[in-house]
Amino acid sequence: MNHLSDSKNVHTVSISHKAIIIIIFLIEVISAQFFFSNREDTITIVFGGDVMLSRKVGAEIKKMGVNYPFMSIRDIFLPADLSVVNLESIVGTQTKFVDKEYVFQAEPSVLKGLKWAGIDAVSLANNHSFDCFSAGVIECADSVWNSGIIPLGIGKNSAEFFRPHSFWIQGNWFVIMGLNDTKSGFWGDDKPGCAPTWTARGESIAVDIISTLAEIGAIVIVFEHWGWEYQQFPDERQLQLGHKLIRAGAKVVVGSHPHRIQGVEFYKNGVIAYSLGNLIFDQKDSLGNIGAILELTFIGNRIYTISMLPVEMFSTFAQPKPANSDSMLEYFRNLSLPLNTDVYIEDGRFFFRPLEKQE
């Protein structure tokens, strides 16, 4: 996929709520990324869940090479018109770390593997964005940009980390934002960090940006880091926030953070995939070793199909492979049924549809 134009430097100190929206609108018009689909009719956007390339996964990469984690899933991400994952590890060379139980910093070389796999953008708006303090935020954002991958939801200040990023695909304007609801990663508008929805002002800014962009014709997609770890069903906050983002104008909300797959909900004119689970991680528990790759197909600005391909890391450590979907059908149905969503299988994928017409 060709990035024909690129502008990432927005310098500001402290700017008003309204100024953020105006600046973002101008940036989006000037510096959109242009992608061209090989297919005439449909547009395919693919999402992966938590990708952690540090700790034991990092050690495996050192032995096997930077492409190793993606070898069995590259054929899913690479052909898509746009591919996005949640990068659950800062990337850099920092030597000072935040004092907490889990700190993840991957070596910069891992970005070559992500690029090889066809990943176009990564959300870095998560609870590990500040693992190496402000210096780590800045180095990571710059390194990702320089690798040819777009960092979502992170930056030197609020103008950068609240900035959505545009992708023109077959004449359709898609906009993606990375947001974080885990009560971490934000220390002020003029400081490095990631875009918060856990503050009232941050949530309001995000909602206004989404509303503004939707009103002028953008197809808005939100990658939101939220919920509680190891929970298989969204909590009340996820439901409330997901619905609010859709009402604001988002077409799709994709979730990460729980390290578990959660269900899919059709709400008004949009869809919410509450959590895709782990794509690449080194957790030992069984549910932490399965994940889902979400594929959305669009015809113009309309969602045509919503499907998930289950993946597992039982057979090969740190290298997800497509899982046996027949054995997981009831599991996926049980996750989505409380959200009034039906699940059926075609060609090894789970497809989702509302059980009844939504309001």
Comparing CA positions, the residue from 240, 239, 242, 224 lying closest to residue 179 is 224
Look at residues 270, 328, 268 and name the one whose alpha carbon lies nearest to residue 303.
Answer: 270
Q: Residues 301-314: pLDDT tens digits?
A: 999 999 999 999 99
Q: Which of 71, 67, 73 is nearest to 112 (CA)?
A: 67
Q: How far apart are CA 145 and CA 357, in angstroms?
A: 42
Say if residue 165's pLDDT is above 90: yes
- On whether residue 190 sits in a domain, the answer given is yes
Of all residues in the chain, the percent with pLDDT exceeding 70 is 88
For residues 208-226, give the mean pLDDT: 97
Buried b (16+ CB within 10 A) or exposed e, 237-248: ebbebbbbbbeb
Q: Convert the chain into a string of H (helix), E (strand) and C (coil).
A: CCCCCCCCCCCCCCCCHHHHHHHHHHHHHHCCEEECCCCCCCEEEEEEEEECCCHHHHHHHHHHCCCHHHCCCHHHHCCCCEEEEEECCEECCCCCCCCCCCCCEECCCHHHHHHHCCCCEEECCCCCCCCCHHHHHHHHHHHHHHCCCEEECEECCHHHHCCCEEEEECCEEEEEEEEECCCCCCCCCCCCEECECCCHHHHHHHHHHHHHHHHCCCEEEEEEECCCCCCCCCCHHHHHHHHHHHHHCEEEEEEECCCCECCEEEECCEEEECCEEEEECCCCCCHHHEEEEEEEEEECCEEEEEEEEEEECCCCCCCCEECCHHHHHHHHHHHHHHHCEEEEEECCEEEEEECCCCC
Instruction: Read off the tokens for 5.
Output: 């134009």
pLDDT in tens, 51-97: 999 999 999 999 999 999 999 999 999 999 999 999 999 999 999 99
Instruction: Please give the pLDDT value at position 356.
Output: 73
* Burial classification of residue 6, based on how many CB atoms lie within 10 Å of its CB (0-12 exposed, 13-18 middle, 19 or more buried): exposed
Rounded CA-CA distance 184/133 in Å is 12
The residue-averaged pLDDT of 115-144 equals 97
pLDDT digits (tens, 9 = 90+) for 326-348: 999 999 999 999 999 999 999 99
Q: Please state, in angstroms and rounded to a whole number, the distance separating the CA atoms of residues 123 and 165.
A: 11
Q: Is residue 322, in this structure, part of any structural domain at all?
A: yes
Band (pLDDT 50/70/90 cuts) for residue 15 is very low
Nearest to 328 by CA among 307, 305, 311: 311
pLDDT of residue 8: 29
Average pLDDT, integer, range 184-208: 97
Residue 327 belongs to some domain of the structure:
yes
Q: Does a structural domain hold residue 2?
A: no
Q: Does the residue 11 lie in any domain? A: no
> What is the per-residue pLDDT for 6?
33
What does the pLDDT average to over 272-278? 98
Strand order through the sheet with 172-180: 33-35, 165-169, 172-180, 219-225, 250-256, 270-273, 264-267
Average pLDDT over the chain reads: 91
Residue 281 structural domain: 17-354
In degrees, to the nearest 5, what angle opens at C-alpha 105 toward C-alphas 99 and 108? 155
Asked if residue 359 belongs to a domain, the reply is no
Write down the pLDDT at residue 41: 79
Q: Is residue 170 part of a domain?
A: yes
Report pLDDT for 317: 95
Which pLDDT score, from 0 to 100, does residue 20 have? Answer: 57
Q: List pLDDT tens digits, range 93-113.
A: 999 999 999 999 999 999 999
Q: What is the mean pLDDT of residues 213-236?
A: 97
Largest CA distance in the chain: 54
Quick check: 187 and 162 in contact, CB under 8 A? no
Mean pLDDT over residues 236-252, rounded? 98
- The CATH number for 87's domain is 3.60.21.10
* Tens digits of residue pLDDT in 16-42: 555 555 555 555 555 555 555 445 579
pLDDT at 293: 98
Least confident piece of the model among 28-32, 173-177, 237-241, 297-301: 28-32
Q: Residue 11 — pLDDT band, cuts 50, 70, 90?
A: very low
Is 1 domain-assigned?
no
Count of the separate structural domains present in the chain = 1
Residue 268 reports pLDDT greater than 80: yes
How confident is the model over 281-293, as pLDDT tens digits? Answer: 999 899 999 999 9
